[in-house]
Amino acid sequence: MFNRAEYVSDTEWNRFLEASKNFATPNIFINLRTIKRRFIQLKDSFPFAQIYYAVKSNPGIPVIKMLAELGSNFDIASRYELDKVLALNVSPDKLSYGNTIKKAADVKYFYDKGVRMFATDSKEDLKNIAKYAPASRVYVRILVENSSTADWPLSRKFGCHPDMAYDLLVQARELGLTPYGISFHAGSQQRDIGAWNDAIAKTKYLFESLEDEEGIKLSMINMGGGFPAHYIQETNDLKDYASEITRYLHDDFGDDIPAIILEPGRSLVGDSGILTSEVVLISRKNNTALQRWVYLDAGKFNGLIETLEESIKYPVITEKDGGREGEVIIAGPTCDSADIMYEDEKYKMPIDLKIGDKVYWLTTGAYTSSYASVGFNGFPPIQAYYLTEDGIEDSEGNSLSC
Ligand SMILES: *Cc1c(COP(=O)(O)O)cnc(C)c1O
């Protein structure tokens, strides 16, 4: 149903097969080469931007380590992510506390560790920042409309109306903080590049009115993530995103473009992952049913949570691909009826698929390995392995090569 070569080159596929052949399923292999390539592409496409990798999308130590070596900064969401990144000797001035939902104790923890840049979208949080992270830079996240064209929207929960952002930045100055800029997230896997245009226009309005009416000169726009990975639904190339978004910036800000931060997650790591699962059972619900149910040893609770509401549609291939195919419903191994990945979307698998065959989920490098349960039905968390230039590492960065 899917042409593997459109997603993974022959060279990298063979490298993956060789590396993964002795590991128990289910597992996820992350190819660091792919992430490096995506990072360099992003830097080349937005040469004026600073990149803050959104650690939550794949918090494996080999990934963080490599991106740190490539000069990346990091968007951090919790004290646990903070400890992990600092332990790799990343300087706290390369970090931003991007989560708008945080405890006062966590603000203090970040401040004590040397972090001086904080996101906010509410009064109470701003007060905590002023109290526990005095004189830090704050940027305010604004709400943007994006739910219909982003496959994983991130709307509503984060951000505030621009009028409120205005008030928060005025208040930030009164509280002794540095009003630094505006942030937004256009929605993850955002297929409509125009979403950035709307958000940049709102940002421009805030820059202008704050300067004219309050004498507050903001200097940074954090444009979030949202750039696409290669799933089954078509998207524009990254270079189209870059040229359009750069044009929007010039349209609104002329030659005087503020400092730009990008926080990519999915677009950097998504394409790097291959999740290998095994067929546990194939059945039909009645004697003449046309559709087969294919139950795998991976599901919503161990790596594939973004199939929730069939939001993210991964390319799925099997070791029997190439012959006749029939429609399937794909489900996971747990005793929860929510553990069905695809039913409405009509996936097809080979007629001669058998129990024990391998089924590969491509583009599973983002929001999979750490987005899994710890032991539902007793199944252990899915293991992630990292394919480096020298061999294989586990998620802690320990070498597994012999
Ligand atoms: C999750 C997140 C990102 C990453 O978004 P992608 O769409 O995966 O690139 C960036 N910024 C913030 C604040 C986030 O919460």
The answer to whether the bond into 26 is cis (omega within 30° of 0) is yes
Q: Look at ligand 1, atom 5, and give the residue with the nearest C-alpha.
A: 225
Considering only CA atoms, which residue is closest to atom 12 of ligand 1? 224
Cα 268 to ligand 1 centre (Å):
11
Q: Whose CA is nearest to atom 13 of ligand 1?
A: 98
Determine the pLDDT at residue 402.
56
Question: Which of 27, 94, 22, 68 minimizes the C-alpha distance to 365?
Answer: 27
Which among 75, 158, 183 is the best mutation to test ligand 1's pocket, defined by most ligand atoms within 8 Å of the CB? 75
- Separation between Cα atoms, residue 64 and residue 88, nearest integer Å: 8
| Span from the CA of 17 to the centroid of ligand 1 (angstroms) | 30
Cα–Cα distances in angstroms (integers) from residue 252 to residues 34, 134, 257, 361, in the given order: 34, 32, 9, 41
Which of 118, 120, 142, 188 has the most ligand 1 atoms within 8 A of CB, as the residue to mutate?
A: 188
> Which two tokens mark 268?
């950097």
Beta-carbon contacts of residue 157 (< 8 Å; ≥ 6 apart): none
**Residue 259, SS3 per DSSP:** strand
What residues are in contact with ligand 1 under a 6 Å CB criterion?
Answer: 54, 56-57, 75, 98, 185, 188, 224-227, 263-267
Q: What is the pLDDT of residue 156?
A: 81
The verdict on pTM exceeding 0.75 is yes
Residue with tokens 């009064």: 123
Q: Which residue out of 151, 196, 221, 263 has the highest number of ligand 1 atoms within 8 Å of its CB and is therefore the one to mutate? A: 263
**CA 329 – ligand 1 centroid, Å:** 30
Q: Is 95 left (phi over 0), alpha (psi -120 to 50) or beta?
A: beta
Q: Which of 35, 185, 371 to mutate to test the pocket of ligand 1 (most atoms within 8 A of CB)?
A: 185
Ligand 1 closest atom vs CA 264: 9
- Which residues of the chain, if any, have pLDDT below 50? none
Task: Convert 142-161 into a string of H (helix), E (strand) and C (coil).
Answer: ECCCCCCCEEECCCCCCCEC
Task: Please say whether the beta carbons of 207 and 182 come within 8 A.
Answer: yes
